[in-house]
Structures are given as structure tokens and as C-alpha cells.
Structure 1
Amino acid sequence: MPSPRPALAASAVLTATALLATACSSTASPAGSSGGGSGKQTVTFMGFYGSFQDEFTKTVIDPFEKANPDITVKYVPIQNSAEVLAKLRASKSRPVADVALMDRSVAPTANKEKVFAKLDPAKVPNLRRLVDTARSKDGYGPGFSLDSLSILYHSKKVKQAPTSWNDLWDPAYKGKLAMPIADTRGVALIIALEKILGGDYKKDIDPAIGRLKKLAPGVETWQPSPDVYTAVQSGEAQVAVGWNARGQYYKDSSGGVVQPVLPKEGTVTQINTINLAANSPHTAAAQKFIDYAIGAKAQKAFDEAAFYAPVNRDVRLSPAVKNRTAASDVQRKNQIPTDWDWLTTRYTAWVDRIKQEVISG
């Protein structure tokens, strides 16, 4: 098992300031515009901020640059997939990034709009080593990491640990909930609730929306800052919904204060895809980077550090780490079947309903 994680180094203010500054600079100039006359190519990568950026830089970018001294990778942190799509849409002819992460539920929209380009299998040979769930049927960006939805709680303040999605409605948690569900987390939660309520999310999500409406009065915040994990760690919220991988990471970095839970009814697996921007001026270098990121060495290093399940079938995680990821036998057994390809055309409508009927309602 990896060594204990250090405590969070940056304050919320510094994190937010750095994120804003980087995002602004990325919008101002096209990808790879830096590098000057040094002979190096600069591949600009958009990825999630915070602990994800820290571990990705250490386990993927740094080793890649060492192995490829002619390529520099510039990391641009982003909040979510919607932000990535908006930035790349606005810079389509001269993209502000060469490579970008995006939820599988959002990526097909970007593919349809030609925001991303198809990969060349000859230049990304590790595509052949991917598990089936990470493969792209149409040649666009494959999965990079697998994660699952979980409940988070503050172990020092919550006397009875939650074990079920239904526990979110426990009166003991009223006014102590953080529910950042105006994104993929909310979509995944709807699917879990539909299972509990005996419904079919492909036919009708009214039952799940109705259930969330009843939860709304007990929610302390819908948009914890800087994120739900630090909100739970600080005690701003005592119970929340978030992703397992970051929950596990914060469990270590908080000394066990943050605890992620796999609800007994099961959970929903989510896939982050890694994509090549259309019109990238550094297509060859960008594809080399994507190939490295989905390779066994990078996958094992990153997942051991950040608790994601690997997409490369050659990776064998240590048992101590595997049992805390979506690759664990328990989580694989308790996965709620989800058709993300089908959800692509409903994703925006579902998120809009959450915003309008649950959060604002």
C-alpha cells in the first residue's frame, strides 16, 4: 500500500485563486503556444483540480516527461466536464488544450460536435490493452479511470455511520448535508434511487426527483466550497455524496476524519475519458501522452496513489488498494447497471431537472 498521504497543503482560497489564474491564462492562448524556440513541444492537458492534479502530476506527467525530454506537459486544472466542454467549444479552431479529461456521459456530445478527434491506434497501441468498459466504440478517447458514487461522512461528528442511500433522509442529518448533485453525481444518484424505488430510469425519473425534493429542506449546501471533501473534513457538512476515489484519498489525508461508504443497495460506476482535441497543433505528442497515460505503468502508479480502478487489464493493484476502489470484489458485485451511452442524450435534461425542481424548487 502507498505511504500515508500528506495533509492538504493549500488553503481553499489559494486553491481557488490558482485555479482561476490558470483557467484565465489557458483561455487567452492556444494549446502549446509556450515552449518558444527550445525545441520542445508543449502538450496542454486539462484535468481535474486538487488531489487529482497532485497525484496525476507525480505519477503520470513527471515520469512521461522524464521518458520524453522533448515534450513538456502543462496541466490546466478544471472543475468539471462542463467547464472543459465550454472552453474547448469556444476555442475549437485553436484549442486551449491538446488533451482533456471528460466524463463519459459528456464526452459523446463533444465527439458529435467534433471538439475531439479520433485516435490513431498505431500511435496509441495501449488501446489494445484496455478493459472492455474503457474502450471507445467509435475511435474517440478511451476511459482513463473508473470510479463509483459513495456516501461520505465525518467520523468524529456522526455517531451512526450511514450504510444506505436511504440514510440521507435520516432526520439526524437534517441541516448537515452537502449535496453537490448538479452534475454527474446527481445523474448517478438518480439511477441508484430508481433502483431503490423499484423504477426504471429509462422510463421515468419522476419518483427519484420526488424523493430528492423531500430531501431538499435538510440540505445545508448544494455547492460546498472548495469541494465536498474538504467540507466534510472541516465539519461544514457531516454527511455528503461524492466520488469514492477522492473520498478514499481524503480518508488518508484527513487521518480518518473523512470516511467513504459503499451503500448496501449498490453504487454506480463512472468513467473519465481521456481525449485528443481536434485541431491540436501537437497531435503526435498528444497521442504519445495519451498512450502513456493508459499504459500499465502509469495506470498502476496513479491508481495506487489516487484509488481509481485501472482501465488497463495488465494492471494488478495491491490488495490493500484494490479493496478500496471500484475494482474491489464487493464493489463489482454491487454495481447498479448503467447505460451511459443511452444517458448521453438525457444527461443535460436530468441535470436541469435537478437544478430547477430540486435545488431551486
Structure 2
Amino acid sequence: MSGLSRRHLIAGGAVGLTGALVGRATRAAPPPLVVTTYGGSWETFWRDDLMPRFIARTGADVKLDVGFGRTFSATLRASGPGHSDYSILMMNDVFVEPLLRAGQFEKLDFSRLPHARQLYPTALIENGWAVIGMISPIGIGYRTDLVKNPPTCWRDLWTNPEFRGRIGLYNVQNSVGKAMLCLAGQMFGSGPTDMDAAFAALGRLGPVLQTDFNMSTMMGTGEIVVSPFDFGEIARLRRQGLPVACIMPREGMLMWDQTFTICVNAGARDMAYRYLDFILEPETQLMLAQKFFVSPVNSTVVIPPDLADAVPVTGDRMKEILPMDWHWINQNAVELDKRWSRTFG
């Protein structure tokens, strides 16, 4: 394999799909479709539920590459545009944007993606070079047993005295930390790039507890009582018996996105388009919502009543998710990191 390390792509082992799911490669056969996903429950779902369904329909030769955005990005950069074993990628837009500008992806041919016509506008990004396949909206989560006056908006983090010293934030290494900076610039300054106003505002929050990924532990122990939170994770905590809730702030929501792109000169280009359309179809979108509590990006998906509390952001609510200028954020990432460290010591 020219572009993937054995550590991430293991054909015939714990990561590669084998047996009845993957046909034997021959010299005349097209290259396999390398499908990226994450570890843990994501890998299990992709292997046991999602990919068997896709393979049964298409007969595709599929291999899974399990990692995360930084590892996928590093593999692409090491290979160079048009020389990777990847044909399609799933990762966050914050990683997609610089790779797109480096020439790693082709502009999507939407004539080959019939289900793209059903997408919410929020999912159509990067001027047609990418689409979002899953959205985890970020609102304000809080402990219902430890908060007397529940939040209604982002500004409450600054104005509600019972939150002082008990606020959680994702740090600047996480895309939600970067999005919070832009939100603070919008609320307290001249716009989302007003970092003087943003950092001054964050400094006024007082002591905060930070994480680069998992907010649930601190919320579970009561170290924090309020923070930006994924609605799906709040639903999981609530089903485990923790007294928590999440609200949609008046100023709008942030999000974690799972963004899909097609690589330039993709070896399995035809199958990559079939896979992407498969991800966007209503049946797959509902499966993903049921498993991960993500908001479907296909506007035709109807959330069943037993799932409505876990996936509340659908329909017109999707318009409340705030867009981010990831190009500006990536261009200024080093400076933002330095200023974040100075602000929070």
C-alpha cells in the first residue's frame, strides 16, 4: 500500500473486512474502497452493521482504516495529491479545509449523488467540494440537580453567578474550543474574527475546567455544572441516570461535523460515490441517528418518537447551527493557541 501505514490499515486482521465481505483481489480487479472511520463503537458499527449492508448491495471490496482526522490528514500529506490509497474520507471540516486547498480532493459531482438533493443547506459546505454526512449539534448542557436557574443562552455563562468556577470548556485543540472563540468574538466584539474581544470575554469567565475531548466525566462528578455539550452525549448520560439536560441557545448552536470528500484521482472513484450516496440516503441516516444520536442531514428523515429526546435538532432547528470560517481559523491556529494559553494560564 502506498499511502496507508500497516498500523492503520490491516487487511485480514482486526481492521480489514474479510471473508464473505471482501472478495479476493486479483490483478484485473479494481483497487479496494478504503473507508475511514473512528475506533470504539464507531468501528464496531461500521464493521458489523453499516458495511455489510453496503457490500451486500454493491459487491464492493472494502477495507476499513480506523483512526482520526489527524492520522488521515498525515497519510494524505505523506502521499501527496492523487497518490493515496484513499478514495473517500470522513473527518471534521477543520481538517478538510487545508487539505482541500492543497489539492487533495475533487469537486463533487452531484449528478452522482441523488440523495444530496435532500440535504439541509447546513450540510452543503466548501462550495461543493464536500458534504456533511452527520451532525452532532452543540448546545449548553447542565446538571439539573445542581443548577437553580437553567441557562437559556450563551451569555448566561458570563452572567449567571452560580456558574462561576463551575464552567467546562473544550480547549483550543478541539474544534468546539475554536468555535467558542468565534462565538465570543461575535457576541462581544465586531464579529467572529475579533479575537481581542473574544479572549477578553473568555478571561472574564473566571476559572474554567478544560478538556480536549470528553466533557462527560467532569459533568458526571459535578466538577462542572454547565458547558458546551453534544446533545447526543447528554442523551447517553441521561439514559445512564445522570440528571442532565441540554438547551438550544438563543444565539445559535455549534457542532461537530462528519464531513465527506472524494480524493482527486481516486482509484475507487465510482464506488466512493456510491458509498457517499449510501451514507446520505434516509435509511442510513436513520441508522446513524439511532446508534450515535446524531442529527440526520437528509431532510426527509423522520425521527421516531422514542428517539426525539435524544435527537432534538432536526427540521427548521438545523438553521440555528452557526457556520464557521475554518480557513480563517486554520490560518490563525498558532496565534489562537498562544493566546488561549496566555488567557487561561
TM-score (norm 1): 0.73
User: Matched residues, percent identical?
Assistant: 20
Question: 2-side partners of 1:314 and 1:26: how far apart?
Answer: 35
Structure 2 distance, partners of 1:98, 1:123, is: 15
Q: Among residues 156, 161, 168, which one is paired with 2:157 in the alignment?
A: 168
Paired amino acid for 1:190: L
Is residue 26 from structure 1 mapped to residue 8 from structure 2 by the alignment?
yes
**What is the CA–CA distance in structure 2 between the aligned matches of 1:349 and 1:28, rounded to whole Å?**
34
1:174-213: CA deviations, max 9, x gaps? 55443223132123223433443363225x2321221112
1:212 aligns with 2:205: no
The alignment status of 1:240 with 2:227, answered yes or no, reads yes
What CA distance in whole angstroms lies between the structure 2 residues aligned with 1:121 and 1:328? 22
Quote the residue 1:147 is aligned against. Answer: 136
Structure 2 counterpart of 1:125, from 102, 114, 136: 114
- For the 8 Å contact 1:108–1:344, the answer to whether it is kept is yes
CA contact (8 A) 2:33 2:60 kept: no
TM-score in terms of structure 2 length: 0.76
Instruction: Supply the AA of the counterpart residue of 1:144.
Output: G
Aligned length: 327
- Which residue of 1 is the match for residue 330 of structure 2? 348
Give the 3 Å change call, closer, same or farther, for CA 287–336 of structure 1 in structure 2.
closer
Matched to 2:329, the amino acid is: Y
C-alpha RMSD over aligned residues: 3.7
8 Å Cα contact 2:141-2:247 kept in structure 1: yes
Is 1:315 matched with 2:301?
yes
What's the counterpart of residue 275 of structure 2? Answer: 289
State the partner residue of 1:71. 61
How far apart, in 1, do the equivalents of 2:179 and 2:271 lie? 34
Contact 2:140 2:247 in 1 (8 A): yes
Per the alignment, do residues 190 and 221 of structure 1 end up closer, same or farther by CA in structure 2, a change over 3 Å counting? Answer: closer
Q: Could you tell me which residue of structure 1 aligns to residue 262 of structure 2?
A: 276
Identify the match of residue 115 of structure 1 among 94, 104, 112. 104
Q: 2:167, 2:227 within 8 Å by CA — same for their partners in 1? A: yes
2:84 corresponds, among 71, 95, 101, to 95
Return closer, same or farther for 1:158/1:353 CA change in 2, 3 Å cut-off: farther
Distance 1:314 1:104 in 2: 24
Match of 1:267 in 2: 253
Q: Does the 8 Å contact 1:186/1:354 carry over to 2?
A: no
Output the CA distance in 1 between the equivalents of 2:156 and 2:191.
Answer: 21
Instruction: Please identify, of 49-58 and 174-183, the stretch whose mean Cα deviation from structure 2 is larger.
Output: 49-58
Counterpart-to-counterpart distance in 1, 2:236 and 2:201: 30
Q: CA deviation at 1:248?
A: 3.1
Distance between the aligned counterparts of 1:357 and 1:27, measured in 2?
37
Question: In 2, Cα distance between the equivalents of 1:360 and 1:62?
Answer: 49
**Helix, strand or coil at the partner of 1:88:** helix
> Per-residue displacement from partner, 1:236-286 (whole Å, max 9, x unpaired)?
54433233334334433x334453332343323564321123344322222
1:128 to partner: Cα distance: 3.4
Inter-partner Cα distance in structure 1 for 2:207 and 2:277: 45
Q: What aligned pairs does 1:81-92 form with structure 2 within 5 A after superposition?
A: 81-92=69-80
Answer whether contact 2:189 2:198 (CA < 8 A) is retained. Answer: no
CA distance, structure 1, for counterparts of residue 155 and residue 5 of structure 2: 38
Q: 1:199 to 1:120 in 2, by over 3 A?
A: closer
CA distance in 2, matches of 1:116, 1:49: 24
Q: Is the alpha carbon distance of 1:73 and 1:303 closer, same or farther for their aligned partners in structure 2, counting shifts above 3 Å?
A: farther
The 1-side partners of 2:151 and 2:38 are apart by 28
Distance 1:32 1:140 in 2: 28
Q: Is the 8 A contact 2:37 2:43 kept in 1?
A: yes
The answer for unaligned runs of 5 or more in structure 1 is 1-21
Following superposition, the deviation at residue 295 of structure 1 comes to 1.3
User: Which one of 160, 183, 188 corresponds to residue 197 of structure 1?
Assistant: 188
| Secondary structure of the structure 2 residue equivalent to 1:116 | coil
CA distance change for structure 1 residues 82 and 214 in 2, over 3 Å: closer, same or farther? Answer: farther
Cα 1:27–1:251 change in 2 (3 A) is same
**Equivalent in the alignment of 1:9:** none
Q: Whole-Å Cα distance in 1 between the matches of residues 209 and 125 of structure 2?
A: 39
1:359 aligned partner: 341
**C-alpha separation in 1, matches of 2:235 and 2:78:** 35
1:212–1:358 contact (8 Å) kept in structure 2 = no
Structure 2: any 5+ residue segments left out of the alignment?
A: none
Residue 150 of structure 1 and its aligned partner are, at CA, apart by 1.7
CA distance in 1, matches of 2:17, 2:255: 36
Taking the aligned partners of 1:69 and 1:127, their CA distance within structure 2 comes to 23
* Whole-angstrom CA distance in 1 between matches of 2:42 and 2:238: 14
